């Protein structure tokens, strides 16, 4: 997935939201997690919010870098993060909680 295409779609929001949704969800969560650090904080949040399942959100949150994770976590708020973590594998949720200092 070319990061430039994602950036262009984000820059064209809200007009190109359906295209962003399609592009984001056409990619493997590992690839998305690896590329998030190249986006602005706002871009990371747009990508995360356009994922089509909680499972994919959990996987991206777990696999991405710490800075991206912190930026996404701050956009979720405590309740949103708790909901996401509650259905994750316990060891992964524990790792995230420890890293975030929650």
**What CA–CA distance (Å, rounded) separates 6 from 1?**
8
pLDDT of amino acid 26 = 94
CATH class of 3-100: mainly alpha
**Which DSSP letter does residue 37 get?**
G
The model's pLDDT over 86-102, given as tens digits with 9 standing for 90+, comes to: 999 999 999 999 987 75
35, 46 contact by CB (below 8 A): no
Structure confidence at residue 84 (pLDDT): 94
What integer pLDDT is reported at residue 2 of this predicted model? 76
What count of Cα atoms within 13 Å lies in the side-chain half-sphere of residue 44?
Answer: 24
Q: Give the number of residues written for the chain.
A: 102
| Per-residue model confidence as pLDDT tens for the chain (102 residues) | 578 999 999 999 999 999 999 999 999 999 999 999 999 999 999 999 999 999 999 999 999 999 999 999 999 998 999 999 999 999 999 999 998 775
Which segments of 1-102 are extended strands (E)? Answer: none
Q: What does the domain layout of the chain look like in residue ranges?
A: 3-100
- pLDDT tens, position by position, 9-20: 999 999 999 999
């Amino acid at each position: 997935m070319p990061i430039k295409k994602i950036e262009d779609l984000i820059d064209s929001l809200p007009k190109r939201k359906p295209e962003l949704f399609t592009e984001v969800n056409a990619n493997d969560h590992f690839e998305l997690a690896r590329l998030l650090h190249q986006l602005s904080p706002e871009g990371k949040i747009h990508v995360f919010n356009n994922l089509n399942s909680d499972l994919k959100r959990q996987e991206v949150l777990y696999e991405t870098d710490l800075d991206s994770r912190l930026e996404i976590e701050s956009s979720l708020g405590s309740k949103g993060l708790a909901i996401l973590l509650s259905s994750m594998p316990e060891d992964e949720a524990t790792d995230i909680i420890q890293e975030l200092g929650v």
